[in-house]
Amino acid sequence: MKRIYYFTGTGNSMRAARVIAKALGDTEIVSMRMDPKDVPATDCDVIGFIYPVYHWTMPAPAVSFVEQLEINPDAYIFVVAMPSFICGIACERLAQILENKGAVINYGDLVNSVANYAIVYPPFPSPKLRVPKTEKKLKRIAEEIASGKEKAYPRASSFIKRRRDKVMVPYLELQKYADNPFTISKDCVSCGICSKVCPCDNIQLIEGRPAFQHHCANCMACVVSCPKRAIGYEIKQGDRALLNAMSSKTPLVKVMGLPKKRKLYRNPYINTADLIKNRE
Ligand SMILES: Cc1cc2nc3c(=O)[nH]c(=O)nc-3n(C[C@H](O)[C@H](O)[C@H](O)COP(=O)(O)O)c2cc1C
Ligand code: SF4
Ligand code: SF4
């Protein structure tokens, strides 16, 4: 049995899972939004993990998923990280979790992808230029994995590790406030799509209005999937922790927001219905 587990906000990682699954053949693709207890990998001889990079590491929901996942430690295990530019310790973090389960990563690589953090910046580099390059690298990786190649996973330099402690770790501490600034405009039609695409089950519709439940990964799935572009992001006076952070170690907080005209990005091979799926 071959299975790929992926976490995605805007589809890059899901697309990668599909390309690699096709090359492997007869491979199940499972979203990390599922309960890991329902999809154990104990009967798998090939296991893949694919996810974006958040704050120079593995996204917290993916960490939590893999920590709870039962696996076959003798399987051929691969990881593909999907950063925009800086992968940091995203693969090392997975290796640590797997080590606790007596398993090692046989193959690891990264694919630089379009940066999707819409509440901080517009998509870059241009999807027109970046996506074809991403596809090309994905196909090469897919062939290597299908042939059972062994490859050391990417590691962060000691410089990046030191910088991460100073520059990125403070952002992780703010994560619990990450959905406070979301706004819902009068254009909302209560369709519930934002709630269905959220990989963290973080949006409930209460009397037709999306309500954020404070375990947000800031993955951007809801933002890019809303058919009315009704989701905004505005740091308000009441968001004390975020406001305090503005003057300290988290300068990006100063530019967080979602101008109405900002371009949004979702991987061109993935649509809203795909983001709602749990497995395929
Ligand atoms: C909250 C957040 C943090 C991010 N941090 C990083 C980062 O540290 N390094 C990086 O290269 N890209 C970073 N990105 C960009 C994503 O990793 C990249 O766009 C990824 O391909 C998105 O994958 P997805 O489409 O599967 O969600 C970040 C994006 C978000 C939303
Ligand atoms: S997807 Fe947009 S329109 Fe639909 S419920 Fe969510 S915010 Fe409202
Ligand atoms: S609320 Fe939106 S940004 Fe937060 S995890 Fe869910 S889909 Fe992603």
Ligand nearest to the CA of 230: 2
Report residue 206 as tokens.
Answer: 């209460």
Cβ atoms of 56 and 156 within 8 Å: the answer is yes
Region 33-54 average pLDDT: 98
Residue 238: its pLDDT value, please?
81
Residue 242 has pLDDT above 90, yes or no: no
CA of 212 to the centre of ligand 2 (A): 12
| Residue ranges covered by each domain of the chain | 2-160, 176-270
Q: According to CATH, what is the number of the domain 176-270?
A: 3.30.70.20
Q: Which residue has the tokens 């305090």?
A: 244
- Closest alpha carbon to 5 in 30, 34, 37: 30
CA of 38 to the centre of ligand 3 (A): 22
Q: What is the pTM of this model?
A: 0.97
Ligand 1 pocket residue status of 138, Cβ below 6 Å: no
Residue 9: its pLDDT value, please?
98
Ligand 2 pocket residue status of 194, Cβ below 6 Å: yes
By alpha-carbon position, which residue is closest to atom 7 of ligand 3? Answer: 198
Cβ atoms of 98 and 77 within 8 Å: the answer is yes
Q: How many Å apart are CA 7 and CA 223, to the nearest integer?
A: 16
| Percentage of the chain exceeding pLDDT 70 | 100
Q: Packing angle between helix 90-99 and helix 60-68, nearest 10 degrees?
A: 20
Ligand 2 pocket residue status of 249, Cβ below 6 Å: no
pLDDT tens per residue across span 114-131? 999 999 999 999 999 999
pLDDT tens per residue across span 96-109? 999 999 999 999 99
Ligand 2 pocket residue status of 68, Cβ below 6 Å: no
Q: How many Å apart are CA 279 and CA 198, to the nearest integer?
A: 15
CA of 196 to the centre of ligand 2 (A): 10
Our mutation pick for probing the ligand 1 site, out of 82, 116, 216, 250, counting the most ligand atoms within 8 A of Cβ, is 116
Assess if CATH 3.40.605.10 describes domain 2-160. Answer: no
User: Which amino acid does the sequence have at 67?
Assistant: E
- Strand 46-52 with 2-6, pairing: parallel
Q: Packing angle between helix 127-146 and helix 12-24, nearest 10 degrees?
A: 30
User: Which amino acid does the sequence have at 197?
Assistant: V
Ligand 1 pocket residue status of 48, Cβ below 6 Å: no
Q: How many Å apart are CA 55 and CA 120, to the nearest integer?
A: 13
- State in Å, rounded, how far the first CA of the chain is from the last one: 14
By alpha-carbon position, which residue is closest to atom 6 of ligand 3? Answer: 198
Name the strand (E) or helix (H) holding 226.
none
Q: How many Å apart are CA 222 and CA 209, to the nearest integer?
A: 13
**Sign of the CA dihedral running 82, 125, 20, 267:** positive
Q: How many Å apart are CA 176 and CA 239, to the nearest integer?
A: 11
Ligand nearest to the CA of 233: 3
